[in-house]
Structure 1
Amino acid sequence: MREITSKDNRIYKTCEQLSLKKYRDKLGRYLIEGENLIEEALKTGCSIETLLVRRGYNKVPAELEDKAFVLDEKLFDRLAQTETSQGVLAIVAKPETDAGDFASASGNFVVLDRLQDPGNIGTILRTADAAGYRLAVVMKGTADIFSPKVVRAATGSLFRMPVVFMDSNSELVEFTRAAGKKLVATCFDTERCYFDEDLTDNIALVIGNEGNGICKEIIESSDVKIKIPMHGNIESLNASVAAGILMYEAVRGKKG
Structure 2
Amino acid sequence: MSGHSITDEPLHVMVIFYNSIGIRADFLYTIGGQPPGEYKRERGRIESMNNRLQKKKIKKIVHHTLEKIDISLDVHIQTTQVNMIYDFIQNLLIIDIDRVRKARNEMNTPVPLEDYIKALVLHEVGHYLDQEALWASVPRTLEIRKIKRETPYFERTKDLDLFQMDIEEHEMEYTFEETAWNNAAVLNEQFNMVGWDSFEQVRFESLLSYTAVYNRDLLIYQALLKQKTGKQLAV
After TM superposition, the score normalised by the length of structure 1 is 0.29
Structure of larger gyration radius: 2
Counting strand residues as a fraction of each chain, which structure ranks higher?
A: 1
After TM superposition, the score normalised by the length of structure 2 is 0.31
